[in-house]
Structure 1
């Protein structure tokens, strides 16, 4: 493996740089944000699975209450739309951050 010794002077610059260094609290924020996103995705997946299960049960005649099936389908649709909107905003924020770096 090739050693990258050329980066050591750059790393030394950061020691004296006024740029904020990542701290353990920054790591906690990233972990917390990641955890929130994962929980949201899991909940969206659960709602979609529940909707699919109820739809199959309705079609097979195991249940007759279409009201519950429609409510589950609407919950899943709202969760998917919210997830897509969050994804779009995260991508837009990432693009803006990348554009700032190229200025």
Structure 2
């Protein structure tokens, strides 16, 4: 599997995650600001990943600067690390709540 097909698959998967509130689920409708924040973050990661991909292809064609490509990739990496950090904190909080005595 080539890098381009792996990237396309990853972007397709993040695009699916970008619209979790459109599932028609009553719980999703009540998720409020946190759900909107997660949806927004995933959309931003998807967009920045696409920008980094376009910059990389432009570099291969001689149309882009190496600095621009490195900047785009670094921005995407930072955004992804931020979302993963938030996910880890949410899971940690959930686990802590589950350990609470009733």
**TM-score band, normalised by shorter chain:** 0.5 to 0.7
Structure 2: tracts of 5 or more residues without a match: 1-28
Displacement after TM superposition at 1:38 (Å): 0.6
Displacement after TM superposition at 1:29 (Å): 7.8
Structure number, greater radius of gyration: 1
Please give the TM-score of this superposition, normalised by the length of structure 1: 0.64
Looking at structure 1, the residues matched to 70 and 58 of structure 2 have their Cα atoms a distance apart, in angstroms, of 13
Looking at structure 2, the residues matched to 64 and 81 of structure 1 have their Cα atoms a distance apart, in angstroms, of 25
Displacement after TM superposition at 1:57 (Å): 1.5
RMSD after superposition = 2.0
Is the counterpart of residue 56 in structure 1 residue 57 in structure 2?
A: yes
Residue of structure 2 equivalent to 1:34? 35
Measured against aligned partners, the alpha-carbon deviations of 1:20-76 in whole angstroms (never above 9, x if no partner) come to xxxxxxxx9831111011101111111111111111121132x13111111101100
Looking at structure 2, the residues matched to 33 and 64 of structure 1 have their Cα atoms a distance apart, in angstroms, of 37
Residue of structure 1 equivalent to 2:94? 94
Aligned length: 75
Conserved? CA contact 2:55–2:64, under 8 Å: no
What does residue range 1-103 of structure 1 map to in structure 2 within 5 Å?
30-61=31-62, 63-101=63-101
Residue of structure 2 equivalent to 1:14? none
